[in-house]
Amino acid sequence: MPNILHLGAKNKKEKISIFRNLFKGREDVFAKYWESSRTGKKGYSPVCKNEWVPHICRKPCEKCGNKEYVPLDDFWIEKHLRGDIIIGIYPIQLDDRVNFWLYQKFTIIMINMFLF
């Protein structure tokens, strides 16, 4: 994944703002892509403050009573735009609204947006 923060003339805050406006979703939770080196499984899971904390984390997450989701903020979006992590948003708001538009050529549009 290219480091989108280095593309084009816009500064870091502007790029994060553009990303936030294009991909509006829940801000109280987001997912992070993972790959298991042991099993080869891949997927997305909500980011939890208590993940892997001894005596608190009760995997699997959906059955855990101690889950405390990490909110999506500029720190995580910057890490995503730099290519350090891959995040996923939850586009359906708590009031069932969706502020999200989909398109097929996501990568081309994103790269063009930051190049020009």
What does the pLDDT look like over 21-71, one tens digit per residue? 888 889 999 999 999 999 999 999 999 999 999 999 988 888 889 999 999
User: 59-63, 86-90, 100-104 — which is least confidently predicted?
Assistant: 100-104
Please report, for the chain, the start and end positions of each structural domain, with discontinuous segments joined by +. Answer: 4-115
- Residue 42 — φ and ψ, nearest 5°? -135, 150
- Burial classification of residue 87, based on how many CB atoms lie within 10 Å of its CB (0-12 exposed, 13-18 middle, 19 or more buried): middle
pLDDT score at 12: 87
Distance CA 80, CA 74 (A): 10
* 35 vs 17, higher pLDDT: 35
- Whether the CA torsion 38, 35, 41, 30 is positive or negative: it is positive
Instruction: Give mean pLDDT, residues 91-109.
Output: 64
pLDDT score at 101: 56
pLDDT score at 108: 44
pLDDT score at 38: 96
